[in-house]
Structure 1
Amino acid sequence: MSAHPRLLPWPGQAGQPSYLVTDDSNSYLSQLADEMEEVQLDTGGELLDHADKMFENPKVNPLEFRFLSARLRDARRVAESRGGRLAALQDNDAEPDKRATNRT
């Protein structure tokens, strides 16, 4: 089993973070999370482009801003998840070097 849990791109039932712990990066749930992350990042990018126009428009209502905020939080969760996985990969890559150094 993987020592580093993956933050999933959707919240749990009570809104708390959800994690996946697996050695199989090609599992159904891993692939579903990858696809969902891609959608969320694409949506976040489109909304950032749209946000400037929203702020300039006095007719935009609070519900539209709440929607914008929620989708941008989704994109932030993806960034946090991917950043955590990158850090875990770097930790794993560094460990063999440490062992090799300790042997000499």
Structure 2
Amino acid sequence: MTHNALTPARLLPWASPEGKPCYLLTDGSGRLSRAADIAESVQLGMAGDLLAHLDDMLGDEQVTAVQLRYLLARMSEALTNVCRIAESRGARLRVYADARARPGPDG
């Protein structure tokens, strides 16, 4: 899915209420693009925080199974978000790389 030859549809960092992917046709400079950038930044930060928390918990002999299950559930959510961000960014990079590889109008 592309808006034009150089601008791919952006996979947004959230899903629809039905769990389906959401896409945006944009040049990357609009308000919704900026909101998506902020959401991605927050999601990546949260994933990093969860990893740090896991590292702390693994070193703690008093951690319960309930605490670990809760953390793993949040990490599953974070990993889903990180994978969506990676897919979105990878798709945009491929389109730009393909466009750069094509010869220009002067040959």
Same fold (TM over 0.5): yes
Q: Whose strand fraction is larger, Structure 1's or Structure 2's?
A: 2
Report the CA distance between 1:88 and its aligned residue: 1.0
Task: Identify the residue that residue 10 of structure 1 maps to in structure 2.
Answer: 14
Q: Whose helix fraction is larger, Structure 1's or Structure 2's?
A: 1
Q: TM-score, normalised by structure 2?
A: 0.77
Contact 1:37 1:78 (C-alpha < 8 Å) held by counterparts: yes
Q: TM-score, normalised by structure 1?
A: 0.79
The one-letter amino acid of 1:70's match is E
Greater shift in the superposed pair: 3-12 or 61-70: 61-70
Report the CA distance between 1:30 and its aligned residue: 0.6
Greater shift in the superposed pair: 4-13 or 89-98: 89-98
Task: Identify the residue that residue 91 of structure 2 maps to in structure 1.
Answer: 84
The separation in 1 between residues aligned to 2:57 and 2:90, in whole angstroms, is 29
Give the superposed CA RMSD: 2.2
Identity score, percent: 39
* SS in structure 2 at match of 1:10: strand
Report the CA distance between 1:85 and its aligned residue: 0.8
**After superposition, what is the alpha-carbon deviation per residue over 1:9-64, rounded to whole angstroms, capped at 9, x for unaligned?**
00112111111112x31111111111111111111122222223445654125233
1:19 equivalenced with 2:23 (yes/no): yes
Q: Could you say if the C-alpha distance between residues 5 and 56 of structure 1 is closer, same or farther in structure 2, counting changes exceeding 3 Å?
A: same
The separation in 1 between residues aligned to 2:103 and 2:93, in whole angstroms, is 17
Gaps of 5+ in 2: none
The separation in 1 between residues aligned to 2:106 and 2:54, in whole angstroms, is 49
1:63 equivalenced with 2:56 (yes/no): no
Report the CA distance between 1:99 and its aligned residue: 7.2
Contact 2:50 2:71 (C-alpha < 8 Å) held by counterparts: no
Gaps of 5+ in 1: none
